[in-house]
Amino acid sequence: MRKTGKLDYLEMPAGQSGLNEVKAFYSNAFGWSFTDYGPDYAAHSEGLDGGFYQGDEAKNAKPLPVLYSDNLEQTLSDVEKAGGKIVKPIFSFPGGRRFHFTDPSGNELAVWSE
């Protein structure tokens, strides 16, 4: 069961090798399977759900911890009140809506909701 504030998803850039190579590596090394969502994103469900992405956003990117929220607007407000900086306001994506923020140490995280 998903709960607000729990680590829910981890996105990682495919990097220079590209999406197909990353998928092949994890499939061959660990037996992971993937679901493609368009040409630039492949999701996996291997313990902690997650996915790899490629394209312009993947250049110089870092892994992105993604938290879940039952109430995205309230969580955004809570993040701001706690001192987080919103770096991407709420937006829609295939599967739901989310926003990105940085914590006081500069780490970027995202929060999503269905």
Q: Is residue 32 part of a domain?
A: yes
Per the structure, the count of domains in the chain is 1
Q: Which range of residues forms the domain containing residue 20?
A: 7-113
63-112 per-position pLDDT tens digit:
999 999 999 999 999 999 998 999 999 999 999 999 999 998 888 999 99
| Beta strand extents in the chain (DSSP E only) | 7-13, 34-36, 41-46, 48-53, 64-68, 85-93, 96-102, 108-113
pLDDT at 18 over 90: no
> What pLDDT was estimated at residue 17?
77
> What pLDDT was estimated at residue 80?
93
CATH number for the domain harbouring residue 97: 3.10.180.10
> What pLDDT was estimated at residue 20?
92
Q: Is residue 1 part of a domain?
A: no
Q: Is residue 93 part of a domain?
A: yes
46: left (phi over 0), alpha (psi -120 to 50) or beta: beta
pLDDT bracket for residue 1 (50, 70, 90): confident
What does the mean pLDDT of the chain come to? 91
Q: Is residue 52 part of a domain?
A: yes
Q: Is residue 106 part of a domain?
A: yes
38-77 per-position pLDDT tens digit:
999 999 998 889 999 999 988 888 999 999 999 999 999 9
